[in-house]
Amino acid sequence: MRICVYGAGAIGGNFAARLAEAGNDVSIVARGAHLEAIRARGLTLLAGDRRIVAPVKASDRPADLGPQDAVLVTLKSSGHAVLPGAIEPLLGPDTPVAFVQNGIPWWYGHGLSRERPAAPDLSRLDPGGALGRSIGMHRVVGAVVSSPNHVVEPGVVHNEVPDRNILWVGEPDDRATPRIEALRTALRAAGIASPATTDIRYEIWHKLMANLTGSTVCLVTGQPVHVQAKPLTNRLARRAHAEALAVAAAHGVVLDDSPDERYGPKRVYTSHRPSILQDYDLGRPMEVESIVRAPLAFARSAGIETPTLDAIESICVSLAEAKGLYAS
């Protein structure tokens, strides 16, 4: 397949290298020193004892790369404003565009089952509807990722847990389609697990439990994931988790997500710094809207009280605004 990874940083770089190694014609959209290093030396992925050097095509101008069979947008939601117009040279008439991101996606209300309550106003995730117009809603594919990575240096990505690379993909209306099966097949052949799902919003909310109730605790404390094991912060995370489960259920997504499994004593806590904390540390635009504020819009539209999440929201927003990394 001709596959473009738009935003080949940590997660995107990992997936691009694996897909290229598996024989796909892979191109990436990157910028700055990362782009220059990849052009000069290829894209390097460090995964356990493996070192993959992928000679991918790389540019900061999508027009250089041409129409693709599929596009994986691995930009964080805070970076989506660059896409309208710029992404269009990558698109054929039916090119699927999978949005690999954290939190509530901008397209959430598209294809939503009538059996579920309507989504709240999510226009801040796609101001003026620019993404929908530029890409075309018929091209949109949902995607949820579980894969811890970080950029070691320009052109070099470290996959922190080599046996934990998962990408769920699904249609916004959850239909089984040939393009979804083709994407899953390509991912699996590249060593990226892609489980079948008949409810992409279940996967969205399930991943959101980690981001909204755990990663935010890391942000407000300034500490890695192991902070969630400490008694006071563990209690905070569990209260946030209970509220988030209630919000998801009110919108028709009943999660099998035990607080003991997520925050219990048997959980293995690591030194990993979640992406929202990495962004704060490095002064990069933060995914406050999709990870924190959009989920609470769902709570308010359903009339669910979320005092713990409200407090977390106020701290996260204040921290991000103080550094100029988010504007409410």
Q: Which residues are catalytic?
A: 207
What is the spatial distance between Cα 148 and Cα 165, in angstroms, rounded to a whole number?
8
Burial letters for 80-89: b for 16+ Cβ neighbours within 10 Å, e otherwise?
A: beebbebbee
From CA 286, how far away is CA 315, in angstroms rounded? 13
| Whole-number Å distance between alpha carbons of 175 and 40 | 42
> Cβ distance 244 to 212 under 8 Å?
yes
In this structure, what DSSP letter does residue 142 have? E
d(CA 178, CA 201): 20
H or E element at residue 202: helix 200-210
Contact 79, 21 (CB under 8 A): no
